[in-house]
Amino acid sequence: MAILYNRILLTGAAGNLGKELRPFLRERCNKLRLSSRRPIDLEGDNEELAVLDLADFEKVLEATKDVDAIVHMGGTSKEDTWNNVLQGNIVGMYNLFEASRQNKVKRVIWGSSVHAIGYHKRTDVLEPDCVTKPDSLYGVSKVFGEGLAQYYFDKFKVESVSIRIGSSFPKVADWRMLSTWLSFDDLRHLVERSLIVPKVDHTIIFGCSNNDQSFWDNSKVGYMGYKPRDNAEDQRPYLEENVKKPPHDDTAITYQGGSFVVAGHFEDK
């Protein structure tokens, strides 16, 4: 396996996607630095640990020293209180990019989300440069992250890839995922392309597999060389047998953001 970078920092190493990417990234660098809010066991000779809260700038600054690339899957991973979203995804995101600038990190690859554009109708075929329509405070934080990534490239030339992840799970779990599913194999392929492509500037790309029902068009970012192979349609028989099909006018199906659209304000009693 070709070594792509000397040292890669993986944030959110204890999370679902971090766990999937960890062995894959370990083979593509001389040192894989793992960031987690709590101590975790090291699994490879080339792993090292940085225990930190992303809201602590000094800790983030230390963790990004001597780092060539960052794969950022940390932060608040779903709708939450405003303070948790603020600290994890806005303060934490700023800290990560500012530390990257100060430490001359070459590239940041991070998990944006479908929820940055969740209020688009599922009948809309979207390109990466579409208007953002967040469906939650979590989605708002992802719009902020994309804007921050653009700013840090335009002003400071910190390259980045914002992956608008749809639904990355081992298997398709509901009918909406026929459109939004991103298999773990395709996620790894997309992250690898994001590390390999010589020049990405700031690229936004939709993170989904080769789904027949996809409502996203990545043609404008074809230079990324992302060619997903899995297709959610292959799992339709499971849905037919195990998951009741929602009515065609169900709001959670009508909009691309799914259940985030129909949920109320998180902190309402």
Task: Centre a 10 Å sphere on the Cβ of residue 145 and count the other Cβ atoms it contains.
Answer: 27
Strands of 107-113's sheet in order across = 47-51, 29-36, 5-11, 69-72, 107-113, 159-165, 202-207
User: Cα separation of 227 and 179, whole Å?
Assistant: 16
User: Cα separation of 131 and 104, whole Å?
Assistant: 31
DSSP class of residue 23? H
CB contact at 8 A, 255 and 120 = yes
User: Cα separation of 120 and 125, whole Å?
Assistant: 9
Question: Dihedral through CA 235, CA 181, CA 190, CA 201, nearest 10?
Answer: 160
Identify the helix (H) or strand (E) that includes residue 24: helix 16-26
Reply yes or no on whether 138 is catalytic: yes
Catalytic site residue from 5, 94, 138, 255:
138
Residues classed as catalytic: 138
